[in-house]
Structure 1
Amino acid sequence: MASAHALHILVKTRAEAEALKKQLAEGAKFGDLARKHSLCPSAKKGGDLGEFRRGQMVPAFDKVVFGKPTLDVHGPEKTQFGWHLIKTLSRR
């Protein structure tokens, strides 16, 4: 079963996610922005979700984590929880 290690930032609006993605493109650190802005409990760990298997996250999230290049920031991606920026650190 495939597994991955990912970070994410969860916010309420697409506009917030896009503003944070712009800050990341300008050199902001993912973990710092996650700690400050993410609504997920993982925020206190810099958005770190640890390692998880395919199917443990909602389908839209899995699609990014298991289908897009690692180490890039992807999103904004909408789920029932809000808008995510997702960075996959590794996959196996």
Structure 2
Amino acid sequence: MKKVNVSHILVDKEFEAQDLLRALKDGKSFEDLAKRYSKCPSAAQGGNLGEVALSRLDEDFADATMLLKTGEISSKPVRTKFGYHLIKRN
């Protein structure tokens, strides 16, 4: 079973995710933005979900995560039934 160490920022609206993506490109900290804006309980840990089995993730979330290299952040929001995610592979 393949596992990945991943963090994310979860918001309700795509425009919120786009605003956060711009903030990241402007040099803001992923962890700080997650703590402030993410609606996931992982926000308290800067969005860090820890090491997670890919099979436990939403399929679209897992697919996007696998495309990332370690330290890389998704270049666009990933939509799931939970909302819009910005994903960082740790």
- The answer to whether TM tops 0.5 is yes
Measure the CA separation in 2 of the matches of 1:22 and 1:40: 20
Instruction: State how 1:51-66 maps to structure 2 within 5 Å.
Output: 51-66=51-66
Name the amino acid aligned to 2:30. F
Instruction: Report the counterpart of residue 81 of structure 2 in structure 1.
Output: 80
Identity %: 38
More strand by share: 1
Instruction: State how 1:14-29 maps to structure 2 within 5 Å.
Output: 14-29=14-29
Question: SS of the residue aligned with 1:73?
Answer: coil
Q: Which runs of 4+ in 1 moved over 4 A?
A: none
Q: Which runs of 5+ in 2 are unaligned?
A: none
Q: TM-score under structure 2 normalisation?
A: 0.94
RMSD: 0.9
Please tell me whether residue 4 in structure 1 is matched to residue 4 in structure 2: yes
Residues matched between the structures, number: 89
Name the amino acid aligned to 2:15. A
Question: SS of the residue aligned with 1:44?
Answer: helix
Q: TM-score under structure 1 normalisation?
A: 0.92
Q: Which runs of 5+ in 1 are unaligned?
A: none
Please tell me whether residue 38 in structure 1 is matched to residue 38 in structure 2: yes
